[in-house]
Amino acid sequence: MKSDQVIVSFRGVRKTYDGETLVVKSLDLDIYQGEFLTLLGPSGSGKTTCLMMLAGFEFPTGGEIWLDGKLLNKVPPHKRDIGMVFQNYALFPHLSVQQNVEYPLTVRKMSAEERAHRVNNALKMVRMESFAKRYPAQLSGGQQQRIALARALVFEPKLVLMDEPLGALDKQLREHMQIELKALHEKLGVTFVYVTHDQGEALTMSDRVAVFDKGIVQQLDTVDHLYEAPCNEFVANFIGDSNRLRGTIEQTQGDYCEIRLADGTRLSGLNVANAKPGASAIACIRPERMKLTQSNGHANGHGGNGGNGRSGINALSGEAKSLIYFGDHVRMRCGVREQDECFVKVPLGTAALDGFAPGLPVALEFAPEHLRVFA
């Protein structure tokens, strides 16, 4: 259970490998005791470098990293009291499961009795006690992942770091392990810091997510707020799916603004970037927030709320392109004049799908509070 106590602090942390390009730029980040924090971002965004600096495999170029009140900058990895799970598991092939899990206790010079007790508990925790005498080559990928996790937890560290530990597993097993990891975290109450580029994985397991891009945390937030209220265009497009509409700010009123698209369509949305009239802007809307109301060509293509966003509904004209089947819903691919194609999530059985054919005009509606406008 997450507490209000800060266990890890990054203060002004910078990292460069060549003396010129900063991979991490002045990072300030607090991690709370007992939380599941995910560092999420594309390749090269700085998330793994941050994890490696926390683990001690890399050292910061500048700034400070603190763990439970102790400055870590020059502390070697084995003295940090941190468990680590890697993508390739890093198990010793010549050691049995029991010996692999026991290894961190051996280097800490614990007694044989204490080692046996802890190894047994750790293997029970991941439901692998019957595999103690096997070797890594005799285990499946999912079983090896469990052993790597048991090894990271066996010495009861203050912190467990995970670097894309599920990346090598197939989709079904990966989703199953996500649920298991989250349940184990809730049971143990240990602080987990997890690195991934998979946004679905981050949303499934995390208490909070730090979204990285170009060495900077773009947004640090709870998963629901991150999805529903992205603070900039990068986060809106990286977390989940978003449709993008380009236009110009016509007027502003309170938290809302009116954006005019190239074809003259006017839409109201939340003025996230506090843009001024005349500014170019990008508006983002989730596919599930758009409603297909008709496919018979009677859409008027104009928002009817005068830009204040407190009454009325935005309306957008488009042309049906194709349907993509997802089981419980379809995604309709739509062309919108002078814009990128957009996708609309439509439940099966929706009347507006009747008689679908490519090329038919469609009418799309959505509430102003779900359209987020970025400068």
pLDDT digits (tens, 9 = 90+) for 244-261: 999 999 999 999 999 999
Length of the chain: 375
User: Rounded to whole angstroms, how far apart are CA atoms 73 and 79?
Assistant: 12
User: Rounded to whole angstroms, how far apart are CA atoms 85 and 249?
Assistant: 48
pLDDT (0 to 100) of residue 297: 45
pLDDT (0 to 100) of residue 303: 41
Mean pLDDT of 149-160: 90
pLDDT digits (tens, 9 = 90+) for 27-72: 999 999 999 999 999 999 999 999 999 999 999 999 999 999 999 9
User: Rounded to whole angstroms, how far apart are CA atoms 17 and 255?
Assistant: 42
Range in 193-207, 322-336, 345-359 with the lowest mean pLDDT: 345-359
Confidence of residue 295 (pLDDT cuts 50, 70, 90): low
pLDDT digits (tens, 9 = 90+) for 32-44: 999 999 999 999 9
Percent of the chain with pLDDT over 90: 67
Confidence of residue 296 (pLDDT cuts 50, 70, 90): low
Mean pLDDT of 292-298: 63
Query: Which residue type, as a one-letter code, is found at position 5?
Result: Q
User: Rounded to whole angstroms, how far apart are CA atoms 163 and 168?
Assistant: 12
Helix crossing, 112-125 with 97-107: angle to 10°?
Answer: 130
Other Cβ atoms within 10 Å of 352 Cβ, number: 19
User: Rounded to whole angstroms, how far apart are CA atoms 230 and 225?
Assistant: 7
pLDDT digits (tens, 9 = 90+) for 2-29: 778 999 999 999 999 998 899 999 999 9
pLDDT at 335 over 60: yes
pLDDT (0 to 100) of residue 327: 85
Fold topology of 241-374: OB fold (Dihydrolipoamide Acetyltransferase, E2P) (2.40.50)
Question: CA torsion sign, 351 to 354 to 359 to 360?
Answer: negative
Mean pLDDT of 339-350: 90
Domain 6-234 has CATH 3.60.15.10: no
pLDDT digits (tens, 9 = 90+) for 265-277: 999 999 999 999 9
Mean pLDDT of 306-311: 41
pLDDT at 206 over 90: yes
What values do phi and psi take at 308, rounded to 5? -90, -15
Confidence of residue 1 (pLDDT cuts 50, 70, 90): low
Domain boundaries, the chain: 6-234, 241-374
User: Rounded to whole angstroms, how far apart are CA atoms 365 and 293?
Assistant: 7
Cα-Cα-Cα-Cα torsion 119, 121, 122, 125, nearest 10 degrees, comes to 160
Mean pLDDT of 333-343: 93
- Cβ-contact 16, 23 below 8 angstroms: yes
- Cβ-contact 192, 21 below 8 angstroms: no
pLDDT (0 to 100) of residue 304: 41
- The label of the residue with tokens 């607090």 reads 30
More confident residue, 355 or 186: 186
Mean pLDDT of 160-170: 86
> Per the confidence metrics, is the pTM higher than 0.85?
yes
Strand partners, 271: 373
More confident residue, 77 or 297: 77
pLDDT digits (tens, 9 = 90+) for 180-202: 889 889 988 899 999 999 998 99
Other Cβ atoms within 10 Å of 203 Cβ, number: 17
User: Rounded to whole angstroms, how far apart are CA atoms 93 and 100?
Assistant: 9
